[in-house]
Amino acid sequence: MSVNTVRLAVGVLGVFGWCLTLSSATQVGLSDKVLVFPYETDFSFVALIPQKEMGLRAFTLCMRVATELPEERQIILFAYRTADYDELNVWREQDGRISFYMSGDGTFFHLPSLTTFRTSLCLTWESRTGLTAFWVEGKRSTYQVYKPGHSIRPKGTVLLGQDPDKHLGGLEAVQSFVGEITDLNMWDFVLSRSMIQAWHYGHKVPKGNIFDWGNMEYELNGNVMVVDDD
């Protein structure tokens, strides 16, 4: 079990009017690694640097996630924000549902609970039809139609662990993620069922062209551990 030493540095991640002070240098590559968020904080997060701009009209986002946070606790699972908008946020809501927000009202899914064991979770969305689905352990939820015609804006910031709030970078402990995230990948198109199932079972699939865990560029902040996946 090896834990990477975090090389400390100080940077400023400014997105238009919105700022977050980063205390970590960029690192690359998370093959066979897990991000462990051990405590509830309002300062621990990981910024992910995409391989290409995130102006999107379709996407597939996959990750493996485990948490012991109680059901009634809101949890941010993925946050992509530009200056004025929460462009693509995924939450576990207080009522246990998993939600997906793009610039305003979200859409809500009843999925099996997140547990202390890893859940393989994907989200697919396509602007043309608005068809939206979560995929749990390779099984698709019922489709919902959500914001057909919408576009996700580029030039924002992706965070794991915290929700970059409307109020200039304000982070809230009660929304923070506690647990583990690994194998996050993102594509700018909708993967087929067979590809999503292949990813779920750890088989070879086309590398994410927005995020590829093995080549992930990331910045650790606060109390986040990078641990061998064991």
**Least distance (Å) between residue 155 CB and a second copy:** 27
* Among 216, 223, 222, 221, residue whose Cα is nearest residue 33: 216
Q: Which stretch binds a second copy (CB under 8 A): 82-90, 125-133, 156-164, 206-214?
A: 125-133
Task: Identify the residue among 139, 169, 198, 214 touching a second copy (CB under 8 A).
Answer: 139
Query: What is the rounded CA–CA span in Å between residue 25 and residue 168?
Result: 22
Nearer to a second copy, 83 or 145 (CB): 145
Which of 41, 44, 67, 82 binds a second copy (CB under 8 A)? It is 67
Residue 15 contacts a second copy per CB under 8 A = no
Number of chain residues interacting with a second copy (CB under 8 A): 38
Q: Which CA distances in Å does 146 have to 35, 98, 130, 187, 226?
A: 30, 14, 5, 19, 35
Residues 6 or more apart whose Cβ sits within 8 Å of residue 70: none
Residue range at the interface with a second copy (CB under 8 A); choices 14-22, 122-130, 168-176, 206-214: 122-130
Which residues have CB under 8 Å from 87's CB, separation 6+?
54, 80, 81, 102, 103, 152, 153, 156
- Taking CB under 8 A as the binding criterion, the range among 19-27, 156-164, 167-175, 222-230 that sits at the site for a second copy is 222-230
Query: Is the CB of 86 or the CB of 180 nearer to a second copy?
Result: 180
Going by the DSSP 8-state scheme, the letter that residue 142 receives in this structure is P
